[in-house]
Homo-oligomer: A and B are copies of this chain.
């Protein structure tokens, strides 16, 4: 296999300390050694979510976390599920397994219309689900705006923070988000395979014990009181997560968020200067994602010509569009422990390919200028 650089919206390129953290002999998951690692992970995750509430860590994909966040609180009779991208849609699909769903769809790439959300909540939903940072389209959805409306109707707020927590500002308790989910392999910078769910007090009022056994957040939170997991955890991934959280502590969360914002701003500045169009259509509430940038594929360039060449010639992997967006957009992840160096290497490689195709003009200076701030 080739040495390469992952610049996709997760799994992210790993810091070498995180790679090394996994490379050790197994410890018992019922030992003091593991308990120490586990309890450090729980405590270090709280500031990333901006919560003092409960934290459950599930050995599984982000999707396991999303489903646990729905299924554990499925005494809720009706969910309003906001969908303006692939992961918003996934929340709706999951919630439909457990309760009635009012599925509010916006075209992928479009921003959320808060009036439509309010209209749905007014019709008797007890909860709202949304994706904070929609990686499929590169949009930052208006968490605070959604919470404000939800509170008016006393609805529970369940947020997918999978690609914002640890890289962008998330203030769960201050905003009033009741349940939020993160994946290990995104802004936190660890390998994939762990999902963490943060749970505020109010959510427990909706606890449903008919939740699937493996996804029962109560059992995770209960066992966490003795620094353990209910089922055998993915030990190497906890070792990696602990190291990733230490790196975050060393960098400082504020600095980390600043870095994420500047790196994604640099990608956008480059795209604008190069004459490329960003994919998201913003409105007064939304913003561009601070962790992934979605750019329209320039005319006359195929996905294979851009992403294929990038991978084969330069060893750099970026993402294409998902489902009906295949070939229409490309996406550059700037999450985790990515530096100026990685962003410049990626943009200059993309630029060299697109200039050969006469699709853009040189624009690296625009990115460099933005990144002078860090």
Contact with B along A18-60 (1 / 0, CB 8 A): 0110111111110101000000000000000000000000111
Interface stretch among A5-13, A139-147, A253-261, A297-305?
A: A5-13
Once the chains bind, are A63 and B11 in contact (CB under 8 Å)?
Answer: no
Cα of A192 to Cα of B233 in the assembled complex, Å: 6
Once the chains bind, are A4 and B19 in contact (CB under 8 Å)?
Answer: no
**A22-B236 contact given A59-B60, A61-B214, A64-B60, CB 8 Å threshold:** yes
Once the chains bind, are B97 and A185 in contact (CB under 8 Å)?
Answer: no
**A213-B317 contact given A6-B27, A233-B192, CB 8 Å threshold:** no
User: Nearest chain B CB to A65's CB is how many angstroms away?
Assistant: 9
Once the chains bind, are A6 and B28 in contact (CB under 8 Å)?
Answer: yes
> Which residues of chain A from 207 to 262 have a CB within 8 Å of any chain B CB?
210, 212-215, 230-237, 240
Does A71 have its Cβ within 8 Å of any Cβ on chain B? yes
Chain B contacts of A215 at CB under 8 A? 212, 214
Does A88 have its Cβ within 8 Å of any Cβ on chain B? no
Q: How many copies does the complex hold?
A: 2
Chain B residue at smallest Cβ distance from A11: B26
Once the chains bind, are B25 and A11 in contact (CB under 8 Å)?
Answer: no
Does A191 have its Cβ within 8 Å of any Cβ on chain B? yes
**A10-B191 contact given A1-B27, A214-B64, CB 8 Å threshold:** no
Q: Per a CB cutoff under 8 Å, which of B14, B71, B210, B311 touches A25?
A: B14
Q: Per a CB cutoff under 8 Å, which of B2, B10, B67, B213 touches A63?
A: B213
Cα of A168 to Cα of B266 in the assembled complex, Å: 56
Once the chains bind, are B214 and A60 in contact (CB under 8 Å)?
Answer: yes
Does A176 have its Cβ within 8 Å of any Cβ on chain B? no
Cα of A290 to Cα of B64 in the assembled complex, Å: 34
Once the chains bind, are B236 and A236 in contact (CB under 8 Å)?
Answer: yes
Contact with B along A183-194 (1 / 0, CB 8 A): 101000001111
Chain B contacts of A282 at CB under 8 A? none
Cα of A14 to Cα of B25 in the assembled complex, Å: 6
Once the chains bind, are A67 and B214 in contact (CB under 8 Å)?
Answer: yes
User: Nearest chain B CB to A142's CB is how many angstroms away?
Assistant: 26
Chain B residue at smallest Cβ distance from A94: B213
Does A3 have its Cβ within 8 Å of any Cβ on chain B? yes
Chain B residue at smallest Cβ distance from A318: B28
**A26-B3 contact given A64-B214, A193-B235, A213-B93, CB 8 Å threshold:** no
Does A62 have its Cβ within 8 Å of any Cβ on chain B? yes
Most buried by B among A11, A12, A71, A183: A11
Once the chains bind, are B236 and A97 in contact (CB under 8 Å)?
Answer: no
Chain B contacts of A212 at CB under 8 A? 67, 71, 97, 212, 215
Closest 5 CB pairs of A and B: A193-B234, A23-B23, A61-B231, A63-B231, A60-B60
> 15 interchain pairs (CB within 8 A)?
A6-B25, A12-B26, A13-B25, A19-B25, A20-B23, A59-B59, A61-B231, A63-B213, A63-B214, A64-B64, A93-B213, A94-B213, A193-B237, A212-B215, A234-B237
